[in-house]
């Protein structure tokens, strides 16, 4: 009996490690549902002539961002938290002996983030960095997928891949290093709080998409004499199911915003504050519900905007999800989702063809979600010596994230691609459809043959 108890105690460190490892592994894999959802969502929104090309473009976001995130994205996350305000940019050039205090602590994570690091290879010395890498890589893919939907039916695949790399493996990662990192200077200097990545993921990617859309221009026929013309989804059922899969994936995304390490005595946020899965269960479910109602009422029961309201609701409260009372979540999520269709209408008025509403759903509500903790969760001091969560800090991080790391690079890189003729497909390709022109196949060959026979 005593021997068994001793053996059990000996297994305890392994079980503690395995619990954390398995938590991130399982929730990380289930986060892939976001990508299944984006695939279906975008495919359904596209016209039938662009169905396969749209899905393929979205699918290839996974490898192009996954591999470049391995090459340099994970390093960027660990290298940038202090730079350029509270410490140096870390890299192979850094002399660890010269580092002291916080810089020395932060540098410990950098050595495990290079593509040649032992921590990312098979080793018994580190069983957690690999699962963290996977979760971060999936965050990165999500970020790029947000751009993907906005630009469908006229962007060149290569041009999109370059934009996806810039956004998914660099821009949002810098925002995450500064604003979603224990050592990030937005938090240590400004008291920044963004539990569920409202700005860091959604604000950055939504506003990056806006920058790209300005240079990309609308689809042929979307605006006639400046007046918007409807281009309807070819399969709204697929779109609705896709968005529901995204909802499920986001439950896991937000579960992966929780930090849970083997020696912890409780769950924490990335900033070190307390959080519980029960809080997430309550608040995410209510945000989704209130968001759907907000989208429904605001859009007068438009199916596409109603279901997009669910996502807008979650994103509106994502920043302070860990600290908001459930009743507050309902009010805020409803408000954010109610505003979203108004922003969609405004985009139309401005002549911007954002096919899936990425800018209103992710960009605008992401920015709102980043600012709200400065009002509704002000005053929390996340670590000794740091300023409390405050409105000015939230405004500052939101501006840097959504505008300087989102809109500006999106605009500039797409402008460069446009100048090089790498951004948009030819009008001939666009008119005839990308499936046949780019891929040489049709998703609906029977219809193609029937049309040809009629002609």
Partner 1 sequence: MGSPFDTAEGYVNAEGAFHSFVGSPMLGTICLILSVIITLWFLYRSFTLH
Binding site for partner 1 (CB under 8 A): 268, 272-274, 290, 293, 296-297, 300-301, 320, 323-325, 327-328, 330-331, 334, 375-386, 388-389
Contacts of 436 (CB under 8 A, 6+ apart): 49, 442, 448
Distance from C-alpha of 77 to C-alpha of 181, rounded to nearest angstrom: 8
Residue 169 or 299 with smaller CB distance to partner 1: 299
Question: In angstroms, rounded to a whole number, what is the distance separating the alpha carbons of residues 236 and 224?
Answer: 24
195 neighbors 275 (Cβ within 8 angstroms):
yes
- Provide the minimum distance between the beta carbon of 283 and partner 1 in the complex, in angstroms, as a whole number: 10
From the CB of 345, what's the least distance to partner 1, in Å? 17
Shortest approach of partner 1 to residue 280 CB, angstroms? 13
Q: Nearest approach, Cβ of 420 to partner 1 (angstroms)?
A: 48
Q: Which is nearer to partner 1, 216 or 293 (CB)?
A: 293
Closest CB to partner 1 among residues 376, 411: 376
d(CA 29, CA 141): 13
3-state helix/strand/coil string of 413-436: HHHHHHHCCCCECCHHHHHHCHHH
CB 336 within 8 A of CB 369: yes
Of 379 and 440, the one with the shorter C-beta distance to partner 1 is 379
Smaller CB distance to partner 1: residue 218 or 319?
319
Distance of CA 122 to the CA centre of its chain: 28
Q: How far apart are CA 404 and CA 31, in angstroms?
A: 28
Those residues whose C-beta lies under 8 Å from the C-beta of residue 299, and which sit 6 or more positions away, are 305, 306, 309, 341
CB of 331 vs partner 1, minimal distance in Å: 5
- To partner 1, the closest distance from the beta carbon of 341 in angstroms equals 13
DSSP state string for 306-339 = HHHHHHHHHHHHHTTTTTS-HHHHHHHHHHHHHH
Sorted by sequence, the CB contacts under 8 Å of residue 169 that are 6+ apart come out as: 65, 68, 69, 71, 72, 73, 76, 140
CB 320 to partner 1: min, Å: 7
């Amino acid at each position: 009996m005593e021997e068994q108890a001793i053996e059990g105690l000996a297994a305890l460190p392994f079980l503690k490690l395995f619990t954390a490892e398995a938590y991130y592994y399982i929730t990380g894999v289930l986060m892939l549902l976001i990508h299944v959802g984006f695939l279906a969502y975008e495919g359904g929104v596209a016209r039938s002539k662009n169905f396969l090309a749209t899905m393929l473009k979205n699918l290839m976001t996974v490898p192009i961002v996954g591999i470049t995130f391995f090459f340099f994205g994970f390093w960027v996350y660990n290298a940038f938290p202090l730079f350029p305000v509270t410490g140096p940019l870390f890299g192979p050039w850094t002399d660890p002996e010269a580092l002291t205090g916080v810089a020395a602590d932060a540098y410990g994570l950098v050595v495990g983030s290079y593509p040649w690091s032992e921590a990312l290879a098979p080793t018994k010395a580190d069983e957690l960095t690999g699962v963290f890498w996977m979760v971060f890589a999936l965050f990165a893919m999500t970020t790029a997928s947000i751009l993907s939907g906005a630009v469908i039916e006229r962007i060149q695949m290569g041009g999109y891949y370059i934009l996806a790399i810039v956004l998914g493996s660099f821009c949002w990662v810098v925002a995450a290093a500064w604003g979603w990192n224990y050592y990030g200077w937005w938090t240590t200097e400004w008291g920044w709080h963004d539990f569920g990545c409202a700005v860091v993921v959604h604000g950055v990617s939504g506003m990056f998409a806006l920058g790209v859309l300005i240079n990309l221009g609308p689809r042929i026929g979307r605006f006639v004499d400046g007046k918007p013309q409807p281009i309807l989804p070819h399969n709204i059922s697929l779109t609705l199911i896709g968005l529901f899969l995204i909802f499920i994936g986001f439950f896991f995304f937000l579960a992966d915003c929780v930090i849970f390490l083997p020696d912890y005595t409780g769950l924490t946020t990335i900033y070190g504050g307390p959080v519980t899965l029960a809080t997430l269960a309550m608040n995410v479910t209510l945000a989704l519900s209130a968001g759907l109602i907000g989208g429904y009422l605001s859009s007068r029961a438009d199916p596409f905007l109603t279901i997009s309201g669910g996502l807008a609701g979650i994103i509106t409260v994502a920043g302070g999800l860990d600290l908001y009372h459930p009743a507050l979540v309902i009010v805020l999520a409803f408000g954010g989702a109610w505003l979203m269709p108004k922003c969609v209408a405004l985009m139309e008025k401005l002549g911007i063809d954002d096919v899936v509403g990425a800018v209103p759903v992710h960009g605008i509500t992401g920015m709102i979600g980043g600012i709200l903790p400065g009002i509704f969760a002000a005053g929390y001091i996340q670590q000794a010596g740091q300023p409390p969560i405050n409105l000015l800090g939230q405004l500052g991080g939101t501006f840097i994230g959504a505008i300087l790391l989102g809109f500006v690079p999106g605009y500039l890189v797409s402008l460069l691609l446009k100048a090089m003729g790498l951004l948009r497909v030819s009008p001939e390709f666009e008119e005839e459809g990308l499936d046949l022109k780019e891929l040489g196949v049709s998703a609906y060959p029977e219809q193609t043959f029937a049309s040809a026979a009629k002609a």
